[in-house]
Amino acid sequence: MTDLSALYAAPGANSMSYVDPAFPDRALMLHSARPRDCDADTPVLLVHHGVGRNGGAYRDYWLGLVDEAGVLAISVEFPETSFPGHLWYNFGNLHDKDGAANPRERWTFGIDARLFDALRAQGLTRRRRYGLFGHSAGGQFVHRMVSFGFRDAVAVAVSANAGTYAMPDLAIGWPWGLGEMDMDTESLRALLGFRITVMAGTLDIETTGKFFPKGPRSLRQGATRYERAHTYVRNGRTAAAALGTRCAWTVIDVAGVGHNGARMSAAAAPILAAALHVAES
In whole angstroms, give the CA distance from residue 201 to residue 218: 18
Which domain, by its residues, includes 74?
Answer: 5-278
H/E segment holding residue 159? strand 154-160
pLDDT of residue 281: 59
The pLDDT tens digits of the residues spanning 203-223 come to 999 999 888 999 999 999 999
Number of domains into which the chain is organized: 1
Average pLDDT over every residue of 23-47: 97
Query: pLDDT category, 182, cuts 50, 70, 90?
Result: confident
Query: pLDDT category, 130, cuts 50, 70, 90?
Result: very high
pLDDT of residue 179: 93
Percent of the chain with pLDDT over 70: 100
Closest listed residue to residue 162, CA positions, set 172, 149, 153, 175? 175
Closest listed residue to residue 116, CA positions, set 131, 135, 138? 131
Instruction: Decide if pLDDT at 93 tops 70.
Output: yes
Query: pLDDT category, 280, cuts 50, 70, 90?
Result: confident
Q: Check which CATH number belongs to the domain holding 201 and give it.
A: 3.40.50.1820
Percent of the chain with pLDDT over 90: 94
Q: Are the C-beta atoms of residues 182 and 193 closer than 8 Å to each other?
A: no
pLDDT of residue 209: 87
In whole angstroms, give the CA distance from residue 130 to residue 45: 6
Characterize the bridge pairing of strands 27-34 and 72-77: antiparallel
pLDDT of residue 1: 75
pLDDT of residue 279: 75
pTM for this model (two decimals): 0.97
